[in-house]
Amino acid sequence: MELRQLEYFVAVAEEANFTRAAERVHISQSGVSAQVRRLEHELGAALIDRTGRAATLTAAGQAALGHARDVLGAARAVRQAVDDVSGVLRGRLDVGMVSGCTITPLFDALAAFGAAHPRIEISLSEDSSDRLTDQVRAGQLDVALIGAAGHTPLGLETFTIVSERLMAAAPAGHPLTEGGKPRTLAEVTSHPLVCMPQGTGVRAVLDAACARCDLLPEIALVASAPDAVADLAQRGLGVAILSESMTSVRDGRLQATPIADVDIASILALVWRPEPSPALRELLVHARVAFGASR
């Protein structure tokens, strides 16, 4: 039994798909399949049910999964203990980022960290904030940049980058922009909206505020990137719902107004588990420098 076999088995179990598991561990699908079959042969039982569209765990696979994770965790701990003594940073950092969130300082931090510690492999993946948070808690990600409504997730260490109010933005001449005064959520949601997808901080704030006020907004269009939301609103396809900094530079083509009765902050933050590894601690140093400079 080899560690890589356990790693591939865990990847297939968590991804429920051999192709995605292969992408995750950076080898071919046939290589993952062959190693998992060798593990099954050695254990004398099928671990993965391959008969359906998804790769699901058999009863034996369910029994083995927790132990496989424990073994891999222990192996990482051995490597980390040796590296701590020798002062060498090596290995891998898995970083997550909320979909559509092109935050340049994060990329600057990753670049600076990579230049300083070339022995550490960095992976970057995108997903919804809820899924990213779950992956950090489960140890599948070391750190993630997430959006949140009102407060950051409990039980995780956090570095809040942005905490802003919600804004409505529309072209000049739109009824919401007349008079340049704040509008209520009811006034804003009386118009079709263009917003970001569920799982982002801005959308979480909008959904929570509408639920609190018993409002059912008409979501005309959804786009994952703030620039796309703004561009759609500039073309008259709906009122853009964005955070304050997202509406700050639009060449005058959009006019933003605060939503007066929404007091839930839209938060963008880095989150990670307590007691980070030395490599993650170094990445966080670079992140604080990069985000501090951006402010």
Question: Cβ atoms within 10 A of the Cβ of 56, count?
Answer: 15
Cα 111–91–268 angle (5° rounding)?
Answer: 50
**Is there a contact between 295 and 201 (Cβ–Cβ < 8 Å)?**
no
pTM equals: 0.63
* Domain spans of the chain, in order of start: 1-88, 166-264
259 touches 266 (CB < 8 A):
no
> If residue 195 lies in a helix (H) or strand (E), which one and from where to where?
strand 193-195
Of 183, 177, 169, residue with least CA distance to 235? 169
Tens digit of pLDDT for each residue in 81-105?
A: 776 655 555 678 899 998 766 678 8
Cα 212 → chain centroid: 26
Indicate the helix (H) or strand (E) that contains 232: helix 226-234
In CATH terms, 166-264 corresponds, of 3.40.50.2300, 3.30.420.40, 3.40.190.10, 3.40.50.720, to 3.40.190.10
- Give the integer Cα–Cα distance in Å for 205 and 230: 18
> What stretches in the chain show pLDDT beneath 50?
none
Both tokens of residue 252? Answer: 């005058």
Rounded to the nearest 5°, which phi and psi values hold at 291? Answer: -75, -30
Concatenate the DSSP letters of all residues of 90-140 into one string.
Answer: -EEEEEEEETT---HHHHHHHHHHHHH-TTEEEEEEEE-HHHHHHHHHTTS
Is CATH 1.10.10.10 correct for 1-88?
Answer: yes
Candidates 21, 76, 23, 25; CA nearest to 54 is 21
Q: How far out from the chain centre does Cα 42 lie?
A: 37
DSSP 8-state code for residue 67 = H
